[in-house]
Amino acid sequence: MEHPLNPIDEVFLAMDRNIGMVHGQFLRFDGTPPSLDVLHDHLADRLPRLSRLTHRAGSEGRRTSRAPRPGFDLRDHVREVELPAGTTLDEALGVLARQPLPASGPLWSVHLVHGYAVGEYAVCYRVHHGLEDGTGAAHVATVLFGDPRQPGRTRQDEQRNGPLFTAGPVELLRGTLSVGAGLARALVPARLWPKAPRPGPGHLAVCSTGATWHELSRLGRKHGGTVNDAFLMALWGALAAWSASGESNDVRSAFRSAPVPVRMPLSTRHTGEETAVGNHLTTATVMLPGRELPPAEAFAQLVESTHRMRSSGLRPASRAFVALLPSAVTRWTVRRLLSPRSAPLYASNYTVPKNLCFKGDPVTDAIPLGVLLPGNPLSVTLLSCGSRVQVSFLYDRRLPGAQRLAALWREALDALDALDAPAALNTPAAPDQLFTY
C-alpha cells in the first residue's frame, strides 16, 4: 500500500540526499558487544511493528509517496563499525555522521559500534530527515529497544489521525499572523547571513557534552523559563565565546552580530500521534539576545520571546495549513522558512524513553546526531533520556574552532548556574517541557 508524502517530507528529500540530512541517536550500552547476527535477529523480531522501515520514497509524475520496497533485505541496513581502542566519543560520533545510507532501498541504517571502549558498545539508528522527524525517530528507537510488553509499545505505524483543528479561532488567527511574520522575516531578513559552502562527506564532525535534566530544569525555573530556555541560553554563551576569537574575515565573525536568529522545529503532532510516519512540524525563529546584555537580562529577554512563541498559535495554524493548502504552496513556504540567508543555525531538542535496553543491557546514555541544513555551517541538538541530557554540535570541520563548541556550551551552563536568581519575575515559571520536537 502506498502512503503519500506530505509537502514537508518532499522538501527535506529534495534538499539533498547526502549524509548531512541524516539524523539519529547514538545509544550507549554497558556490556559485551553482541555479534552482528544477534543484532540482526533482534531487529528482525521488532520489524513487523515498524512497517515504515521497509518503505522507500519514490515519485511518479507529480505524486511522491512511500511504499514497501520489493525484495527488502534487513541485512542491507544493519552494519558493524569496529573502532580502534582509545577512540574518543566525539571521534566515534564523527565516524557515524560520515557513514552513507544504503545506496538503494529505504534511507535508514542501524550500526553496531564497538572497540572504542572496554565494556561498552553502542547501537546507532540513523534516518534521512525526509522520512522521519525527531519524534518519529524516537518512536522507532522505542520500538526497537523498548520493552514490548509495556502498554502502547506494540502499536503499528500510523498516519496522523487527530483532529485537523486543535485550537479555537482566536488562536488560529494568531497562528496565521505568526506564519506570515515568519515568512516575511525569511523573505526580507534584517541581515543576510553568509551562506556556508556545502561540506563533503569527509568534512562533517561532531562534538558533544552532557548535563542532567535537573541542572537545566533548575536553571530555567530560576529565571522563569523552561529546560529549553536554559539550553538556548547556554548556546548563547557558547556562541559568544566561540565567535570572540574569530578574525574579521572569519566565518565566526558573523556570529558576533546581535541578535543571532536560531531556527527551531516545533512539533505539530496531536496527542496520540507519536507513531505517525513522516514530518509533522513547523519552523520558528528564536532570536538569541545581544551579546552586550548582562546574562540575567538576556535570560529574561529570551524567556519572554519563547513564551510568546509558545502562545502564538503557530503549531495549530501550521498543522491546518499543511492539510488545507495546495502542496506546491506549502513546499514554497517551507523552502523560504529554511533559507540559510535568514538564520545561520538549526537547533532542536527531543526525548527518548529512559528504559531502553538491548538483550538485558540497559541504555546508559543517548547522544543525538543532528542534521546540517544546506547553507548552515553548524547545528545543535539536545536529546533527553531519563535524568541525562546530551547536547551535540554537527559542523563542518573546516569551521575554525568549532570542535570547542560543546565544551563552551558546558562552560556557559556552569556560568549561568552561578548567577543569582532575579529579584522578581515578570512571568510565572513555565512547565518543564521541551517544546520543539
In this prediction, residue 167 has a pLDDT band, given cuts at 50, 70 and 90, of confident
Nearest-angstrom CA–CA distance, 93 and 204: 10
**Cell numbers 541542572: residue:** 215
Tally Cβ neighbours within 10 Å of residue 278.
22
- For range 246-268, the mean pLDDT: 82
C-alpha cell at 189: 531578513
- For range 30-48, the mean pLDDT: 96
For residue 426, pLDDT beyond 60:
no
Q: What angle do CA 315, 18, 278 make, to 5 degrees?
A: 30
- 401-421: per-residue pLDDT in tens? 999 999 999 999 999 999 887
Nearest-angstrom CA–CA distance, 342 and 188: 8
The reported pLDDT for the residue numbered 154 is 46
Mean residue pLDDT of the chain comes to 89
The reported pLDDT for the residue numbered 18 is 65
Share of the chain above pLDDT 70, in %: 92
- The reply to whether omega before 259 is within 30° of 0 (cis) is yes
Cα 32 from chain centre: 30
The reported pLDDT for the residue numbered 226 is 95
In this prediction, residue 1 has a pLDDT band, given cuts at 50, 70 and 90, of low
Strand order in the sheet with 120-128: 78-82, 108-114, 120-128, 22-30, 361-369, 357-358
* Nearest alpha-carbon partner for 123 in 382, 357, 331, 418: 357
C-alpha cell at 147: 520493552
The reported pLDDT for the residue numbered 150 is 60
The reported pLDDT for the residue numbered 428 is 47
CA–CA distances in Å: residue 276 to residues 269, 379, 412? 8, 25, 37
Tally Cβ neighbours within 10 Å of residue 330.
20
- For range 258-276, the mean pLDDT: 90
- 126-149: per-residue pLDDT in tens? 999 999 999 999 999 999 999 876
The SS3 assignment for 192 reads coil
- 179-203: per-residue pLDDT in tens? 999 999 888 888 888 888 888 878 9
Q: Say if residues 310 and 292 touch (Cβ distance below 8 Å).
A: no
Q: Say if residues 66 and 57 touch (Cβ distance below 8 Å).
A: yes
Q: Which value, to the nearest 10 degrees, does the dihedral of the CA atoms of residues 289, 295, 300, 303 take? A: 60
In order, the DSSP letters of 49-111 are G-GGGGEEEEEETTEEEEEEPTT--GGGTEEEEE--TT--HHHHHHHHHTPPPPSSSSSEEEE
Q: Say if residues 392 and 375 touch (Cβ distance below 8 Å).
A: no
Lowest mean per-residue pLDDT among 14-23, 215-224, 258-267, 286-295? 14-23
For residue 6, pLDDT beyond 90:
yes
User: Please, what's the b/e burial string for 401-414 (b: 16 or more CB within 10 A of its CB; e: otherwise)?
Assistant: ebbbbbebbbbbbe
For residue 436, pLDDT beyond 70:
no
The SS3 assignment for 370 reads coil
Handedness of CA 18, 55, 281, 234 (dihedral sign): negative
Radius of gyration of the chain (CA): 21
Nearest-angstrom CA–CA distance, 259 and 257: 6
> Phi/psi at 258 (nearest 5 deg)?
-130, 135
- 108-132: per-residue pLDDT in tens? 999 999 999 999 999 999 999 999 9
For residue 161, pLDDT beyond 80:
no
For residue 375, pLDDT beyond 80:
yes
The reported pLDDT for the residue numbered 311 is 86
The reported pLDDT for the residue numbered 427 is 47
